[in-house]
Structure 1
């Protein structure tokens, strides 16, 4: 690949990685030589972490990373489509925002070849080569569906002839390793052969730490072991990228949010059901609803089916007031949609937003007790972006990047405008700032 004046840029998201894993690795018994070599000793970093967005959940965070805007602007409120009756078959918000543009769009407009492999919220992105995060059932049918929404169409089918099935639903270490291999394949077989002198912008995604930590806890042995294996995979991948570009590359490794251990589940929909606001059929499935709380980890979004129904609103507010006044409810804050938008810059389309205390995760069950002492997940995120445990990670290394430089006061929405600056353009809709300029 020819060396260009403008550097190629690689953006790797490692889901839920906390900055302390790298900067306090000795205390935690972690061996992460590649992350330390590339980004601590020879790069720019944020040792205190960076402020995430609300909710600190994977899909809204990733759209904030790639657009430089808050959820209230880009419109993705949580991972899942709002669907009380299950009509959408557990669909996710897989798609790029229709409200603002993203780095894939702007890099293409500014002479870069844009490439994506598995970055969340990427279906519909106008990257030159796009294998988005999307799935249905984990079978070979996923490959056919994914191939239909990839860009150009047929890209997945072509890559799978050499690489085997793409890991659409595999969020394990094995899946991560394969996503990085697909990323390398695209760079070597598509970008290097067809880009000429154009630099590239690549995004990819690593999920295994988040997957394991949900099951065993933030500092569980298996979760920390996953981090060490991720470090090994990244070392190989980053080395290959430097080799391909002749060193004319900038690598940015980030996370979307942090992680904290859970105490238990809280289930507001059980209270709504008892007050007749949710109806169940003979199988216990939702047949109708007047109020519903959608989960987002340590937060919840409440929608009234008819926002003009004053009787329903009164019932809901009585329940929410009781929860807020009860110190044992796990609820830290109850906001209206407008209040949440103003205070936390999240979406305003819901009637109420719940913010929980650390360790109290919201679930959507409609039957049983409000509080369940055995949490569904041992660790979770989605909590307030002000919690120190929710701070995300940011690392940068490569050509013209200062070595051993620590950045303070950074936020998740600063990532996109900072990378845009490195590539020589500005994102007009970004709500963040270029931190390299601010910390010069």
Structure 2
């Protein structure tokens, strides 16, 4: 692969002083306090804690609207909000469920250049393992995140969508790769092994890899539970393995750890469909949606409210009145509702006419026939207001050119991509954030 560093050296030109290879590791659901207060909490995560003394760290990262995995990861790769990059939620907006709860897997849906694109344009080689919104990304060696049914055909789908021949070549060396739908610790351990093999064999200048088991466990048992702590300690081992491999391949490289959101305990499911059905704004037939004028777009701790025809003043007024009533009814657990102007200001999807933000402890139910209020199937949730401290994400970085022990304070998630671009020596001109490095 063309590599700008090699070209510059061959031509006798100067390599930019700031340029360095980067390995970017995402730990889904990692909260800042998990690392910053690890000793106080009794957590044994020496590899993550080492960033505090050996590199730079953010006290917290304010996320995007909504604070969910796919919009956040698209922001981490572009430096812009969901309203600009186009990934508005984890799931595609699909009122009739024709996409069978399909996620926003495809990088072609990202409307602005990514860090992968910027690296490619600069002639730098890239690799990625299981990163959200990466199917079809401009990545030289790509094992994207995707699943459909959880059956054996998913493995064929991944092999077809990965870089041709890549999955089979790595499986010949390492054994079976993890299923896309598998979010367990064992799956993370497998993906980390594949990431290390990919890093050592292809030596990409920029690599992204994603670990999901902490998020999975926090949904299942809640944040800061013994089970979640145990998973985080094992993920720290994987981070240590990735760091060692990165230093073997790129001794003068940079390693960054990010997360997409925080977590809050949850107890109650809220059926936000019911009041719209009762108001005649959603029509059901045989238990399924037959027609709609307004539709909630489920984001866990929040919901975008989408109008089929935003120009219909009658429907707009009816929905606005209904949302005001729901917001004053304690049964719905709504903290507040923001209107279109605030959605735009906060960088949410332009499809949303409003955003319903639930109180921590409440989440939107996914079933049309659920009671208005019922026990939540999860014990932990995210998707809540980005302003909440519980929703803050993590940023850690160390390596060449990074001042040791540097406290970056509170940062914006949109600052991460331009910071990584700065380290790589590439340009990301559309970024709404700024580089955190001098």
1:417 to partner: Cα distance = 0.4
- Residues 1:165 and 2:176 are matched in the alignment: yes
- Residues 1:315 and 2:315 are matched in the alignment: no
- Residues 1:420 and 2:421 are matched in the alignment: yes
Name 2:29's counterpart in structure 1.
16
Aligned length: 422
Matched residues in 1 for 2:337 and 2:169: separation?
50
Query: Does the CA contact (< 8 Å) of 1:294 and 1:364 recur in 2?
Result: no
- Residues 1:210 and 2:210 are matched in the alignment: no
- Residues 1:286 and 2:298 are matched in the alignment: no
Name 1:102's counterpart in structure 2.
114
Q: What secondary structure, in the 3-state scheme, does the structure 2 residue paired with 1:435 have? A: coil
Q: Name the CA shift for 1:298/1:308 in 2 (closer, same or farther; >3 Å).
A: same
Name 1:200's counterpart in structure 2.
205
Q: What secondary structure, in the 3-state scheme, does the structure 1 residue paired with 2:403 have? A: coil
Q: What secondary structure, in the 3-state scheme, does the structure 2 residue paired with 1:400 have? A: coil
Query: Does the CA contact (< 8 Å) of 2:293 and 2:308 recur in 1?
Result: yes
* Of 340, 351, 354, the match for 2:353: 351
* Of 41, 45, 52, the match for 2:63: 52
Matched residues in 2 for 1:288 and 1:98: separation?
29
Name 1:409's counterpart in structure 2.
410
Give the 5 Å matches for 1:245-394.
245=250, 247-282=251-286, 284-342=287-345, 344-372=346-374, 374-394=375-395
- Residues 1:32 and 2:37 are matched in the alignment: no
Post-superposition CA distance 1:89-117 (Å, at most 9, x none): 11100122441010001011113111111
Query: Does the CA contact (< 8 Å) of 2:343 and 2:352 recur in 1?
Result: no
1:293 to partner: Cα distance = 0.8
Give the 5 Å matches for 1:34-183.
34-37=47-50, 39-46=51-58, 48-96=59-107, 97-151=109-163, 153-167=164-178, 168-183=180-195
Q: What secondary structure, in the 3-state scheme, does the structure 2 residue paired with 1:377 have? A: coil
* Of 211, 224, 249, the match for 1:244: 249
Q: What secondary structure, in the 3-state scheme, does the structure 1 residue paired with 2:332 have? A: coil
Q: What secondary structure, in the 3-state scheme, does the structure 1 residue paired with 2:61 have? A: coil
Q: What secondary structure, in the 3-state scheme, does the structure 2 residue paired with 1:143 have? A: helix
Post-superposition CA distance 1:229-286 (Å, at most 9, x none): 00111112211211122x211000011111111131222101111222223233x222
1:327 to partner: Cα distance = 4.6
Query: Does the CA contact (< 8 Å) of 2:87 and 2:110 recur in 1?
Result: no
Q: Which runs of 5+ in 2 are unaligned?
A: 7-14
Query: Does the CA contact (< 8 Å) of 2:78 and 2:114 recur in 1?
Result: yes
- RMSD of the alignment, in Å? 1.9
1:308 to partner: Cα distance = 4.0
Q: Give TM-score scaled by structure 2 length.
A: 0.92
Name 1:195's counterpart in structure 2.
none
Matched residues in 2 for 1:254 and 1:330: separation?
30
Matched residues in 2 for 1:233 and 1:435: separation?
26
Matched residues in 2 for 1:206 and 1:398: separation?
21
Name 2:11's counterpart in structure 1.
none
User: Which stretch shows the higher mean deviation, 325-334 or 200-209?
Assistant: 325-334
Q: What secondary structure, in the 3-state scheme, does the structure 1 residue paired with 2:351 have? A: coil
Post-superposition CA distance 1:353-408 (Å, at most 9, x none): 21122222122332243222x11211111111100011111111112211111111
Q: Name the CA shift for 1:289/1:434 in 2 (closer, same or farther; >3 Å).
A: same
Name 2:400's counterpart in structure 1.
399
Matched residues in 1 for 2:370 and 2:220: separation?
23
Matched residues in 1 for 2:370 and 2:299: separation?
20
1:158 to partner: Cα distance = 2.6
Post-superposition CA distance 1:4-33 (Å, at most 9, x none): 864210000000100111111122221111
Q: Give TM-score scaled by structure 1 length.
A: 0.91
Matched residues in 2 for 1:17 and 1:308: separation?
41
Task: Spell out structure 1 runs of 4+ moving beyond 6 A.
Answer: 2-5
